[in-house]
Amino acid sequence: MDVHTALHGITCPLVTPFDDGSIDDEALAGLVDHLETGGIDAVFPCGTTGEFPSLAPAERLDVIERTVEHADVPVVAGAEATSVAETIDAVENAATAGADAAAIVAPYFTTANDPAGNRRFFEAVLAEASLPVLLYNIPQCTGQRIEPETVAAVADHERAIGIKDSSGDLAYFLSVLERTPDEFLCLQGYDAILVPSLRMGADGGVNALSNVVPEVFREVADDSHGDRARELQAEAIAPLFEACTTHDFAPATKAALVERGVLPSDDVRPPLVPVDDTGPIAEALDRALAVGDR
């Protein structure tokens, strides 16, 4: 399956498993097996849930290489950076590692003083990129959103294949959907509004909690316009998402994966800390699994 086709389904933004602070390759392989058994269409290492800011450049390359080695599905590699040159280098590293596509964000810390600045940034990266590129809108982390007009302006570039929107703003998502060509993928990255987005025309999802219950997300994708998808969104995904929102999604997702027996450790890197009370997450996970088994 090629990456464009795979992204019409469910892509999992992988956590990065650690063992006493080091990357745990055996746990990563086990996670990928868990996801593929659950029906995930593609995987996304080194995203926000993968704690990319806490990884050294060599470690990011290592995680991507190991993911490509373990996975039998397409790999979209995080290539997030603040400068054009560094972003291009990150895309090239992803290509060297064997990834099928790369995801890039708007520059953070120093944000654009005008939307034209982000357009220049993306156009400069796309002009040099050797991989298909997915824009990644996550304003709560970057300090700015990628304006719909900016997305529309670069959507026709041959290297731009789509956008992952993790803003949680459905109106924004629908605006981007309306302004971009049909072949430009609009992917919902905010789990709480996955089914509404699919019903309004989203092409697929990139969802952190698919690490934990991939089979639930698989069923949602297969029945996105049916009553079963609505039931799974309301009774499985939404309660688990709510239980995780009081924590960063890397610690919360790892806590749930440990509860399910997929990962041996919920270790995260500073500035993150593990979830101190996993009771609500465990309760929501049990409920999600029970609803998924109906």
Residues belonging to the active site: 136, 164
Contact 57, 87 (CB under 8 A): no
Q: Which residue has the tokens 């654009």?
A: 112
Q: How many CB atoms lie within 10 A of CB 85?
A: 11
Contact 103, 134 (CB under 8 A): yes
Q: What is the DSSP string of 131-194?
A: S-EEEEE-HHHHSS---HHHHHHHTTSTTEEEEEE-S--HHHHHHHHHHS-TTSEEEE--GGGH
Which residues, including other chains, have CB under 8 Å from residue 79's CB and lie 6 or more apart?
Answer: 46, 87, 90, 91, 93, 94, 102, 103, 104
Which 3-state string (H, E, C) describes 268-287? CCCCCCCCCCCHHHHHHHHH
